[in-house]
Amino acid sequence: MKNNTFEYVVPCHFGMEAVLKREIMTLGYEIVNVADGRVTFRGDETAIARANIFLRTAERVLLCVGRFKARTFDELFEATKAIPWGDYIPVNGKFWVKKASTAKSQLFSSSDIQSIVKKAIVERLKMTYRVDWFKEDGDEYPLRVFIFKDEVTIALDTTGESLHKRGYRKLTGKAPVSETLAAALIMLTPWNKDRILVDPFCGSGTFPIEAAMIGANIAPGMNREFTAEAWKHLLPRKGWYDAVTEANDLIRNDVEMRIQGYDIDGEVIKVAMANAREAGVDHLIHFQQRPVSELRHPKKYGFIITNPPYGERLEEKEALPALYTDIGNAFRHLDSWSYYVLTSYEDAERYIGRKADKNRKIYNGMIKTYFYQFMGPKPPKKVDNRRFN
């Protein structure tokens, strides 16, 4: 920390770094570094609240407290001990290393790294507070340690539960896409609030809800709590109140959007409608039970952003050729539209009947998926559905 400036490390989905970087710059912060799956930036203490409340595509916000080289456990211990931990953790603070990850480094045992970092912090705080034992019955200070090419980064987790937990999704459908990934994928497309958006496999409503929140400029973290709210010595409560006030002032209450979510499962549609109500955007989305084979729209131009079934079970896989043929045939009726399909099904292009203009590999959890981008006019070829009956 220098002149009340902190360094923040913000993890995100692999491949979404450019989207997150743009979000951070829009908030007015200086980018320090962009690496695989994370963006580092500088900001004052108010960034603890603003980044958590405003960032749509980040997984969490980590406050960097130390960065150094370490090739041995002795070096790790001494460099960790040298950090002024009393600036961050009070005498009764509950602290632990929640996660340690390492790659291309001499130190590779995560459990040993966690143990040594904890011991080093304890030794430093013994000197700071002149005590031999800590109750750790106060506020929580979870830590994360990353080691890459022998460079150690130690950070406090300001977020707590991952930022994809917006607070609105009380119920989910099958194999849901996370809120942070859905927002990032929407922001990768040219869609904006003035354009039509349809999700024919809306499930629990994540794509339509995230799009509505983007269009209405509703900050994703307004209705949840964060671990760092208790860290009043780093950011007084006023900093959080100011960030929420800023977010409220930026909401576009008069916005009108044409967003539709369809699904073949009527019960899932009820879930999506309930989630949209929780998010405060139910008036901006039209949900309806409808199979993809009946997808039609009177408007000439629009966007489809969707996450169709992948077929994780064998019996589901057998139905995929017919399903993706139906998708392609439905797209033929919307031949001037642009459509974006997230799926792990490797024959998607074949049965949709068109090669994607762009294809981006995305990991949805542990599942390798592809974000097929069809930016047309160029209708898919008609595929005979009877071959699969």
At residue 389, the pLDDT reads 46
Q: Reduced to 3 states, what is the DSSP secondary structure of residue 78?
A: helix
Residue 358 bridge partners (DSSP): 373
The residue behind tokens 């996660």 is 99
Are 275 and 167 in contact by the 8 Å Cβ rule? The answer is no
Residue 63 bridge partners (DSSP): 8, 156
pTM of the entire structure?
A: 0.93
pLDDT in tens, 172-216: 666 579 999 999 999 999 999 999 999 999 999 999 999 999 999
At residue 1, the pLDDT reads 45
Beta carbons within 8 Å of 59's beta carbon, 6+ residues apart: 10, 11, 12, 13, 162, 163, 164, 180
Are 243 and 45 in contact by the 8 Å Cβ rule? The answer is no
At residue 348, the pLDDT reads 95
Angle between helices 73-81 and 110-129 (to 10 degrees): 30
DSSP assignment string, 261-315: EEES-HHHHHHHHHHHHHHT-GGGEEEEE--GGG---SSS--EEEE------SHH
Are 372 and 343 in contact by the 8 Å Cβ rule? The answer is yes
At residue 365, the pLDDT reads 77
CA distance 142 to 228: 10
Are 292 and 328 in contact by the 8 Å Cβ rule? The answer is no
98-102 long-range contacts (CB < 8 A, ≥24 apart) are 98/142, 98/143, 98/144, 98/157, 99/144, 99/145, 100/144, 100/145, 100/146, 100/147, 101/145, 101/146, 101/147, 102/146, 102/147, 102/148
Q: Report, as ranges of residue numbers, the positions in the chain whose pLDDT lies below 50.
A: 1-2, 386, 388-389
Going by C-alpha positions, the residue among 41, 48, 76 that lies closest to residue 141 is 48
Are 90 and 84 in contact by the 8 Å Cβ rule? The answer is no
At residue 4, the pLDDT reads 82
At residue 388, the pLDDT reads 46
